[in-house]
Chain A
């Protein structure tokens, strides 16, 4: 008997992937050359699975700010903000975030995961109720479990199911807090936020929107889905991350609700962890500035997203319900997903494999994410590789039959 016996079946599956040299959970890049290129050994790899939506990881201004702050303030804060104090940079970033969202309050967390865990565990107290979209990210589930509130999940993107659940709770005391995401990270679909906002108003609930994958992607100024659907006034809390469109690491929450700052001495994932290093904070601040002043990045990103999404759909792959920077090809089963992923990597294209229970409806996904930094040629190259591997594995029709079929229609 060993401590790890409980993971026996998982170990078998994991070792199987290792020995088949197709383990997507253990990739090591020898060099990263740009937001879209890396090397494994001497092989050039096109990156199409990094969530680097605006391609800001190598932006010269972002790097310069990170270097400057590191030289001036050191490599780390070596403690939490309540115990060891805040640096000027943390406060400036919080002001910049509040200003960007047009909100009164902002709080920065050390990761996006911690932002969700820190906000949800603190907002919902004993006797309160959290209602989560069924397809919520693990950080939303974990944050809900960390607090004392009662948690239920409603059907993904189903405002009627949410309304039913709020109705069942209507005679029960306690605050009701609804959590949805802007863009869901597995299939790239967006929430029907106008309908959710209407339900939330009708039942007097609070609404939290996780814009992790939609910050810098959606909305006239890049604030996310709430801006795109013109319901920002109904969203009580926006949670987000610096590790996708902003190319760094860290998380945040913004809100207009009076008294928000008390969370700084309530939220344990905020209080009991080291604050972000000055260089990381400076980089995120500059990346946010880039996001605000260069809407062209968002336009390029969405052009690339459409090119790749419709490209895959035209080839005959089953894809998610709408074009977005997250583009997943639905695979028949996990084994096919691993094999497809591995053949793409051999051909020099890096994507992700996503499996149940992390995925909705038991789907095995070959997940890609496009960047503003991709050129149309790189997207075409990736589509060419998907076509090649898809045909070799008999997942899509040969080019000729596809042409014939189109002519027949």
Chain B
């Protein structure tokens, strides 16, 4: 599966666009809670989809550290690299 930062970013943004009701411009700086309006459980549910796409498990303490989409992209990259 695609492992470059660019590919990971594209997959995450695509997954997010298909699950968000409203259209939001997405960037690495997008704050997941403030800009996307997701609550803590919705963030965890969204991360589950990302986990499926990349066949990784993101521990809850890692999710807690993720604030922006960029944080998520690099967290996925690190977890993929560790496999």
Which residue numbers of A lie inside 8 Å of B, CB to CB? 134, 141, 144-145, 150-153, 155, 164-165, 168-169, 356-357, 360-362
Tell me, yes or no, whether B42 is within 8 Å of chain A by CB: yes
**Shortest distance between the CB of A370 and any CB in chain B (Å):** 27
Q: Which of B1-9, B22-30, B57-65, B68-76 contacts A (4 or more CB under 8 A)?
A: B57-65
Interface residues of B in 34-64 (CB under 8 A from A): 39-42, 44-45, 48, 55-61
Most A CB within 10 A of own CB, among B39, B40, B58, B60: B60
In Å, the complex CA distance between A356 and B61 comes to 21
B41 x A357 contact (CB < 8 A):
yes
B39 x A151 contact (CB < 8 A):
no
A134 contact from B44, B57, B58, B83, Cβ within 8 A: B44
A151 x B41 contact (CB < 8 A):
no
User: Can you list 29 A-B pairs, Cβ within 8 angstroms, ordered by A?
Assistant: A134-B45, A144-B60, A145-B60, A150-B59, A150-B61, A151-B59, A151-B61, A152-B57, A152-B59, A153-B44, A153-B48, A153-B60, A155-B48, A164-B55, A165-B57, A168-B55, A168-B56, A168-B57, A168-B83, A169-B57, A356-B39, A356-B42, A357-B39, A357-B41, A360-B41, A361-B45, A362-B39, A362-B41, A362-B42
B57 x A356 contact (CB < 8 A):
no
**Shortest distance between the CB of A117 and any CB in chain B (Å):** 15
In Å, the complex CA distance between A152 and B48 comes to 10
In Å, the complex CA distance between A150 and B58 comes to 10
Q: B39: which A residues are within 8 A, CB to CB?
A: 356-357, 362
**Shortest distance between the CB of B40 and any CB in chain A (Å):** 5
Most A CB within 10 A of own CB, among B55, B57, B60, B61: B57
**Shortest distance between the CB of A189 and any CB in chain B (Å):** 17
In Å, the complex CA distance between A151 and B44 comes to 12
Q: B45: which A residues are within 8 A, CB to CB?
A: 134, 361
Q: A357: which B residues are within 8 A, CB to CB?
A: 39-42
In Å, the complex CA distance between A21 and B13 comes to 43
Q: B59: which A residues are within 8 A, CB to CB?
A: 150-152
